[in-house]
């Protein structure tokens, strides 16, 4: 057994984890376009389109899909973009989109899956991750198969959710400072492009280059089949990607990026593969501005 120190919002707790024990994979977290097409008439189905603004949705969406704007589930806090609003606010956003406890939520959106993955992380934080899935290939694959889209807005009846906050879905800067000094109990994955990870290019809005000490690079787009359709690689190849980044089955994984968006995709795939995973929502933006941390490295793993 191994001991890992987790820093929560107010206290430090001890997590005892079985080393080398791989959790089960979660294939239910990903649905195909075939599956979705055959379930569109299911009254429990709730399709959510996650987008920056109205234009992506109004250009044509999957029949029955409701729009959730990124600004509704991510906010600027203490100068750091894309942070989590209050749980009560998030609960109301998803209820207003029609989500109830018995809903089967399917997510797609802009940025080739990143926004859908951020929505999944948000639902997971609310204790609703087991009700949600990403649409493999997104609306891009749906359209390429000549499946129907519409510009009509569905009538939305607000739902009722009972949330159960999963505080251990995320970590904060003091904890990151601890594992940056001694990260043997965790695999820290940087989801940004390799040029930003290695310090060859600055991340937008950040004056320091490089990455959090101890982090390994796993650029989120490397988890997709090359091309214009955001479709996940086969499971065997995904496992190879994580193994190459130093994450073995049973490892505890922490993901980060610039502001908690790209790392949502690494978070989703890690959980899909069965890793125990958490996300540093403040990410490199908060890290470089924090008095707790701030140290960076610019060498490549």
Say yes or no to pLDDT of 8 above 60: no
Same fold, 2-23+167-289 and 32-144: yes
Confidence band, pLDDT 50/70/90 cuts, at residue 183: low
Determine the Cα–Cα distance for residues 109 and 51; give it in Å rounded to an integer: 6
Determine how many CB atoms are found less than 10 A away from the CB of residue 140. 17
Which tens digits make up the pLDDT trace of 191-239?
Answer: 999 999 999 999 888 889 999 999 999 999 999 999 999 999 999 999 9
Q: Where are the domains of the chain?
A: 2-23+167-289, 32-144
- Sign, CA dihedral 138-140-143-144, equals negative
Per-residue pLDDT averaged across 158-177, rounded? 95
Return phi, psi of residue 49, to 5°.
Answer: -100, 120
DSSP string, 138-161: HHHHHHHTT---B-PPPP------
Helix (H, G, I), strand (E, B) or coil at 177: helix
**pTM reported for the whole predicted model:** 0.91
Q: Are strands 276-280 and 170-171 parallel, antiparallel or unpaired?
A: parallel
Which tens digits make up the pLDDT trace of 102-117?
Answer: 999 999 999 999 999 9
pLDDT on residue 46: 99
Say yes or no to pLDDT of 11 above 70: no
pLDDT on residue 293: 55
CATH number of the domain at 2-23+167-289, please?
Answer: 3.40.250.10
CATH number of the domain at 32-144, please?
Answer: 3.40.250.10
């Amino acid at each position: 057994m191994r001991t890992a120190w987790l820093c929560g919002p107010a206290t430090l707790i001890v997590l005892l984890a079985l080393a080398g024990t791989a959790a089960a994979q979660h294939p239910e977290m990903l649905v195909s376009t075939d599956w979705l097409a055959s379930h569109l008439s299911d009254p429990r189905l709730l399709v959510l389109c996650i987008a920056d603004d109205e234009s992506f949705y109004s250009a044509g969406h999957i029949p029955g899909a409701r729009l959730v704007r990124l600004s509704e589930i991510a906010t600027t806090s203490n100068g750091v973009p894309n942070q989590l609003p209050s749980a009560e606010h998030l609960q109301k956003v998803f209820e207003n989109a029609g989500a109830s406890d018995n809903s089967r939520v399917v997510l797609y959106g802009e940025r080739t899956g990143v926004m859908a993955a951020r929505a999944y992380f948000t639902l997971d934080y609310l204790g609703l991750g087991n009700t949600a899935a990403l649409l493999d290939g997104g609306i891009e694959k749906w359209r390429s198969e000549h499946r129907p889209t519409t510009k009509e807005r569905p009538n939305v009846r607000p739902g009722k959710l009972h949330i159960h906050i999963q505080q251990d879905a995320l970590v904060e800067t003091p904890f990151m400072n601890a594992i940056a000094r001694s990260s043997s109990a965790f695999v820290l994955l940087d989801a940004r492009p390799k040029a930003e990870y290695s310090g060859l290019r600055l991340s937008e809005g950040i004056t320091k280059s490089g990455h959090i000490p101890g982090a390994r690079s796993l650029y989120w787009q490397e988890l997709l089949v090359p091309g214009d359709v955001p479709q996940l690689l086969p499971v065997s190849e995904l496992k190879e990607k994580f193994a190459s980044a130093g994450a073995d089955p049973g490892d505890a994984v922490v993901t980060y990026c610039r502001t908690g968006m790209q790392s949502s995709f690494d978070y989703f795939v890690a959980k899909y593969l069965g890793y125990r995973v958490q996300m540093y929502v403040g990410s490199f933006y908060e890290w470089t501005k924090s008095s707790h941390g701030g140290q960076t490295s610019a060498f490549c793993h």
